[in-house]
Amino acid sequence: MINLLPYDNKRQTKAARMNFILFRYLIIILSAAIFLTIACVVAYISIGNNKSSTSSSTINKTDTNSTQDQANTINTNLATAKNILDRQTIYSNVITEIATVLPAGTILDSLSINEGSLGTTSDLKLFSSSSDNEKILSENIKKSSLLSNYKLISTTSSQNDSSKYPFTINVSLMINKGTSQ
């Protein structure tokens, strides 16, 4: 039956349907715009209320002083810990340095290191396979930053001893306190 309608009426019917669809889209768009506007206004008012309540509340001075006191206490404790760690002596570094200055073919009889022996002269007894090792030891200690004040006390040889280390070298030296960290 529609096909029997004149061409002009068909065009009017199509235009009427299109207008109805466009009117529906217009209502949906206006509803969305109104909803977004209301949401923005509510958010703006909410943020404004939060801002005014935050700015109107005052910070208690005792809380600020308490926090500052805690921060000062932590800073003091950290400074104390740093001073302790700066004065700490790493004995493995001392032992390693002494082992590095010993020439090949030389062994140390005994070594006792404690806080009191740092910065003071210590006597060491060394056994050596050669008498020339004392000169090498002297040169190595002069190059070392950890050891100083090298003095040869005595060098003895036991000719009838059949051991691998027939020479005994007694020396006096100082282990520097500041460089043993």
pLDDT digits (tens, 9 = 90+) for 104-114: 888 888 777 77
Could you give the number of structural domains in the chain? 2
Amino acid identity, position 178: G
Question: How many Cα atoms occupy the beta-carbon half-sphere of 50 within 13 Å?
Answer: 6
Q: Tell me if 12 is assigned to some domain.
A: yes
- 3-state SS assignment for residue 126: strand
Q: Tell me if 150 is assigned to some domain.
A: yes
- The domain of 36 spans 1-49
The CATH number linked to 122 is 3.30.1360.100
Q: Tell me if 84 is assigned to some domain.
A: no
Q: Tell me if 73 is assigned to some domain.
A: no
Average pLDDT score over residue span 153-168: 77
Q: Tell me if 63 is assigned to some domain.
A: no
Q: Which residues share a beta bridge with 125?
A: 170
The per-residue pLDDT for 56 is 57
Residue 159, burial from CB neighbour count under 10 angstroms (0-12, 13-18, 19+): exposed
Same domain for 170 and 107? yes
Same domain for 164 and 104? yes
The side-by-side arrangement of strands in the sheet containing 121-128 is 106-108, 121-128, 167-175, 147-157
